[in-house]
Structure 1
């Protein structure tokens, strides 16, 4: 159960909400993108890199470049864990991460010298072949394996609803963790992206606790508790990199669809899962991040920054 909000916290959150409302009407990302493009002195990596265009594979590589390139995260010999939102039971349009986005991440990891890449959730059969780049990336794909080692139980001392979870060993043991979700509607939490994608690293029993651990009689009977569990599990290990697919995504009837589709043709990359989710929720689904429980709760855990306008955001359209 959430603790009462103090007057100081209320004023603090109200100020943040006003800033976010202002951000929705001001082209911060275009401004930062234009500055980066026109001023060669700006060399520091962006906090959020956003690329819009019809080539989703190229969008992904360019978004990574805005962050400083994959070599900023992956070093020669590293073992990389990939958490891709492409489970076997979600195959409808706008419900899973585009293979063009995932494959670009794989290729960038291989080029940076990754020794091995493991998929925490194995994509469905034929997933990689859906990308027109699959053949030319065959050598990189050969380094991708299913995660082995099963799961282990971890304690979450700072968790408010979730104190213990069964987590993939690959997530804990990898040198680098890369989260590759899709931004889309979710019937329970309202939005799903980086933070919720971490449920893919949990066991079935842990995920069932997310939904029913408070005594809720239905899957989404206690969204506040579900959202708090999602925020709590993100305390276990923060991904080193988040590459969020916002190319084609569900606006309704998520997470599995079918539903109304949005077509932003965008890839959003960043190290901060809270900021990436806040940007995607507000920009693509017209949601206030402070009204999305799991985003607000993760911010309260200090996992990341909910007010993405405070960050260096660079956006390009190609």
Structure 2
């Protein structure tokens, strides 16, 4: 059985509580030493680019700081962002000023791209992706669980688009001949499932603390505070649990079923081992 761990903030406070909850959730998944070995080159795929600025649209920096600290403690030789976080990212938390070593730990992405074939891809046969995404020894996926106007849900699987060049992402939306961005959701969902065939994250750490219930992915929209951090090796399983935070059934989110059909994971929560702690 696949294991998904999650921690819930009993107090619901931000900052230090989210930081601690993230580290505890990773401990429940086996500890950072299971995933990051001394001398490892780590790639961080964080859903916090410059264009996500509204509350509930981006991975909270508290989650990212907690992961950065664990990577350094595990002896990572290099930590590189696959997509650079927003310029003001660390100012969005009170912890940013407290952890200057952590905010300086990640290397900016060098901006190198490569086009690769996708064996087994149904709608997406090739993709132009960031080289760090392919070359890093450890891939840590740090999405936020939130509403998405097209796919219905955005989480681990959808976050992989952050590793793709804009030309590939444009194909996701319009490659079937669709004129609107979300005119062909089936094609978009299949492309998302296909691109996840390129590699599986070493670990997924999903922010479920505060997120958009409506008008995602950018917002502004209705917010929910679930005060959860969800961790697991399998993006399909983490997304399936993430859907429950938004009141969604994973079976209704096409990309999850399509990714599962590719053999990328188990979406049935009844067949998963769920470990939860409250802080």
Normalising by the residue count of structure 2, what TM-score does the alignment of the two structures yield?
A: 0.95
Q: Choose between structure 1 and 2: higher strand proportion.
A: 2
Within the candidate set 123, 139, 142, 2:85 is matched to 123
Write the distance in 2 (CA, Å) between the matches of 1:81 and 1:308: 28
- Structure 1: stretches of 5+ with no match in the other structure: 1-44
- Closer, same or farther in 2 for the Cα pair 1:60/1:157, shift >3 Å? same
Cα drift, residue 290 of structure 1? 1.2
5+ long unaligned stretches in structure 2: none
Paired with 1:173 and 1:111, the residues of 2 have a C-alpha distance of 22
Q: Is this contact kept in 2: 1:46–1:67, CA < 8 A? A: no
Alignment match of 1:313 (pick from 268, 274, 279): 274
Give SS of 1:244's match.
Answer: strand
The within-5 A match list for 1:246-285 is 246-281=208-243, 283-285=244-246
Q: Distance in 2 between matches of 1:212 and 1:122?
A: 25
1:115-149 deviations in Å (ceiling 9; x for gaps): 11111111111212333333443223333101225
Whole-angstrom distance in 1 between the partners of 2:178 and 2:31: 44
Query: Would the aligned equivalents of 1:46 and 1:314 in 2 still touch at CA under 8 Å?
Result: no
Which residue is equivalent to 1:167?
129
TM-score of the superposed pair, with normalisation by structure 1:
0.84
The aligned runs of 1:170-181 (5 Å cut-off) are: 170-181=132-143
Name the residue aligned to 2:181.
219
Q: Which residue of 2 aligns with 1:39?
A: none
Q: Is contact 2:2-2:234 (8 Å) kept?
A: no
1:308 Cα offset (Å): 2.4
What residue is the counterpart of 2:207 in the other structure?
245
Asked if 2 retains the 8 angstrom alpha-carbon contact of 1:50 and 1:269, the reply is yes
Structure (1/2) with the larger helix percentage: 1
Q: SS of the residue aligned with 1:158? A: coil
Which of the pair has more CA radius of gyration?
1
Note the aligned Cα RMSD (angstroms).
1.3
State the secondary structure of the residue aligned to 1:264. Answer: strand
Superposition map of 1:73-88 within 5 A: 73-88=35-50
Is the 2:57–2:219 contact (alpha carbons within 8 Å) kept by the matching residues of 1?
yes
Name whichever of 292-301 and 306-315 sits farther off: 306-315
Q: Does 1:49 align with 2:5?
A: yes
For the residue of structure 1 that corresponds to 2:230, the secondary structure is strand
Question: How many Å separate the matches in 1 of 2:226 and 2:54?
Answer: 17
C-alpha distance in structure 2 between counterparts of 1:99 and 1:114, whole Å? 20
Q: Is the partner of 1:145 in helix, strand or coil? A: coil
- For 1:61 and 1:127, the matched residues in 2 are separated by 20
The runs of at least 4 aligned residues of structure 1 exceeding 2 Å deviation read 129-143
